[in-house]
Amino acid sequence: MIKIPQDIYNKIIEHSKNDYPLEACGYLVGNNEIVIDIINMTNIDKSNEHFTFDPKEQFQAIKYARQKGANLIAVYHSHPASPARMSKEDIRLANDTSIKYLIYSVSEEKLKCFSIDKEKNVTEEFIEVI
């Protein structure tokens, strides 16, 4: 499970719609599955099928989370025209089993959360909007 304040939930959706038709991406900052902030990242791939974070922004995001006394607890990205599910590419690139992966489907207007284990088994997680 992940707990997301309503305003941050709305910001994920807003970022996804603003970057449409490209994939939007970013981090969620928090502790113990409770989100306290959002960091919108630049998709340097400028693609509607995949994303890559800007390495300089990644470093800044880690630094920012530490300054807040928190961690990067989730990666979020959008699927402009496909369902809110982990694609084969998403699964292949999901190497951190300690974080959640959130996907917002712009076409379906749905946000879903997933975890992944070291064997690449994907589990859908509950999102609690607080």
CATH number for the domain whose boundaries are 2-129: 3.40.140.10
Interval 64-119: pLDDT, tens: 999 999 999 999 999 998 889 988 888 888 888 889 999 999 999 999 999 999 99
The reported pLDDT for the residue numbered 6 is 97
Distances (CA, A) of 21 to 31, 73, 102, 105: 32, 26, 18, 11
| Nearest in space to 55 (alpha carbons), one of 47, 23, 8, 63 | 63
- Tokens 């791939």 -> residue: 45
Q: Span 6-30, mean pLDDT?
A: 94
The reported pLDDT for the residue numbered 66 is 94
Strand pairing category for 127-129 and 2-4: parallel
The reported pLDDT for the residue numbered 95 is 86
Residues with Cβ within 8 Å of 11's Cβ and at least 6 positions away in sequence, in order, are 38, 40
**Domain edges within the chain:** 2-129
H helix intervals, the chain: 6-19, 55-67, 88-93
d(CA 99, CA 70): 13
Interval 19-61: pLDDT, tens: 999 899 999 999 989 999 999 999 988 877 778 899 999 899 9
